[in-house]
Each structure stands twice: as C-alpha cells, then as structure tokens.
C-alpha cells in the first residue's frame, strides 16, 4: 500500500519529511532538523510519531532526536554515528530492513558526506530518502569520506530504477543549477536550470527529484562524460566536486 509523504521547509534550507504508512497509519520522520517544527506539522496533520529514521549525524539531521523522543517516545533508528550527538535506539547498516507498518525500507550505505551516512529505499513505492548524499543537480560535500567512497555511494543510488522519487534534505537546487551550467552545456541541463530558476522565483520547491532526472542532468553523476580525460570515473567525480567547492556563483 501507499506511503504518504508530507514535505515541509525547516531551518533555513532543510526539508522535513513526515511519512505515513497508509495501511496501518504508522508515522515516521526522516531526520529531525527541528523538533518544534516537526511537532507542529504532526499536530496539523493529526498524526502521532512512531519512528525516527536518521540519515547521518549532522545537527540539522539528528539535532531534534532527543526532544522528539521525549515528546513522542518514538523509536530512533539510524547509523551508529548518530550517537555522537543524539540518542539512537537501534544502529542500522547496509542491507538492513526497517518496517514502518507494512512499508519496507531497505537501508543503503551512502557514506561520503559523513562516513556512516545511509539512505532509505522503499522499492514497492519507488521512493528513496537520500539525506545529504544526492541533491537535485548536486551532491553532498565530502566532509568525512573520500571521493571514491562518495562516487560508489552515488552509484548505489543510480542503480535504483529511473522512476524512483528522490527526497533530498536541502533546497540547494538554484545554486547547484548555476554550477551545473558552468560545467555542462548539454541542452537538457540548460532546460532544467531554467525550470529550476522559474520554480524558485514562484517560491516552489524543486524537491523531490527522480533518479532518471539526476542521471540526465546532474553534473556529479555526469562527471565521467564531463571529464573524459580523468583516469577513472571516481577521479572525474573528484574533479567536479573540487570545482563545485571552489565555485563562486
């Protein structure tokens, strides 16, 4: 049965995600950017929180764990690294399965942004929550992992079906689009960038995206095409990532 996703802006540029298993009414939040905002959304929806699914330890993803645990008693699952800053009830690793009612999330190791970063994939509903690994037209910064690790993580995500709906944790798309235009002249990239700028002018979100759209236009995924002389795909990715880190757009 369906998974209902309620997306709302949080902090300065995060998204909050409340998900509800339609069959059983069980509710989870993907990450905890802002406990008060999440509690307010739960109140508006009339939902009660059963679970917290963390993607990584950064404060804008796990900082609300303690307050939400106190307020709701929800079970917290995520990578072990979360315990650096917040409570965790169960540590997850690659290949683990998390059940929210009848919805089955498979855990995918997507380390690189942080070493333990994970993503959650609901194959039946073709939905993935990817935290700060893959963004619309972008990818997470390499705070802890290597380019090689991040490239492998991105491959795990691009192995998912093209129609997979991808919920990334930040609205960074306009700035990502400016960078994409600086390294990629493909018409599909220009077209998408125009659509992104127009959507942001209208105040509309550009998240979610899809695996297919990212494969076609995301400069980090297209790195081997954009840097054909690089010795390996991971090194091509490293070059694009370094260019973005130094990009003043």
Known catalytic residues are 56, 58, 60-61, 113, 132, 170
Site stretch for Zn ion (CB under 5 A), options 7-15, 43-51, 72-80, 129-137: 129-137
User: Measured from the CB atom, is 58 or 222 closer to Zn ion?
Assistant: 58
- Strand pairing class (103-109; 118-122): antiparallel
List the one residue from 21, 31, 60, 81 that touches Fe ion (CB under 5 A): 60
Alpha helices in the chain (DSSP H): 35-45, 59-62, 65-72, 147-158, 173-183, 187-201, 211-217, 223-226, 233-245
Total site size for Fe ion, rule CB under 5 A:
2
Region 96-135 residues binding Fe ion, contact defined as CB under 5 A: 132
User: Measured from the CB atom, is 60 or 109 closer to Fe ion?
Assistant: 60
Return phi, psi of residue 72, to 5°.
-125, -15
Cα–Cα distance for residue pair 183/58, rounded to 1 Å: 29
- Strand pairing class (75-78; 51-53): parallel
Q: N- to C-terminal Cα distance for the chain?
A: 43
User: Measured from the CB atom, is 59 or 73 closer to Zn ion?
Assistant: 59
- Return the one option of Fe ion, Zn ion, none that residue 41 interacts with (CB less than 5 to 8 A, by type): none
Cα–Cα distance for residue pair 163/51, rounded to 1 Å: 26
Asked if 58 is part of the footprint of Zn ion (rule: CB under 5 A), the reply reads: yes
Asked if 34 is part of the footprint of Fe ion (rule: CB under 5 A), the reply reads: no
Residues that bind Zn ion (CB under 5 A): 58, 132
Residues that bind Fe ion (CB under 5 A): 60, 132
């Amino acid at each position: 049965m369906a998974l209902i996703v309620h997306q709302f802006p949080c902090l300065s540029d995060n998204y909050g995600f409340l998900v509800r298993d339609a069959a059983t009414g069980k509710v989870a939040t993907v990450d905890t950017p802002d406990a008060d905002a999440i509690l307010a959304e739960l109140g508006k929806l009339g939902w009660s929180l059963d679970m917290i699914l963390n993607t990584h330890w950064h404060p804008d993803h796990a900082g609300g764990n303690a307050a939400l645990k106190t307020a709701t008693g929800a079970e917290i699952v995520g990578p072990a690294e979360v315990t650096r800053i917040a409570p965790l009830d169960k540590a997850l690793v690659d290949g683990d399965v998390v059940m929210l009612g009848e919805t089955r999330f498979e855990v995918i190791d997507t380390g690189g942004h942080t070493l333990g970063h994970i993503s959650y994939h609901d194959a039946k509903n073709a939905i993935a929550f990817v935290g700060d690994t893959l963004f619309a037209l972008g990818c997470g910064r390499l705070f802890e992992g290597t380019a090689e690790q991040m490239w492998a993580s991105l491959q795990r995500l691009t192995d998912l079906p093209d129609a997979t709906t991808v919920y990334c944790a930040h609205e960074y798309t306009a700035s990502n689009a400016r960078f994409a235009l600086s390294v990629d002249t493909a018409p599909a990239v220009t077209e998408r960038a125009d659509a992104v700028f127009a959507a942001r002018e209208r105040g509309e979100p550009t998240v979610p995206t899809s695996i297919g759209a990212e494969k076609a236009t995301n400069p980090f995924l297209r790195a081997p095409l954009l840097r054909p002389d690089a010795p390996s795909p991971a090194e091509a990715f490293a070059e694009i990532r370094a260019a973005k880190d130094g990009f003043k757009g």
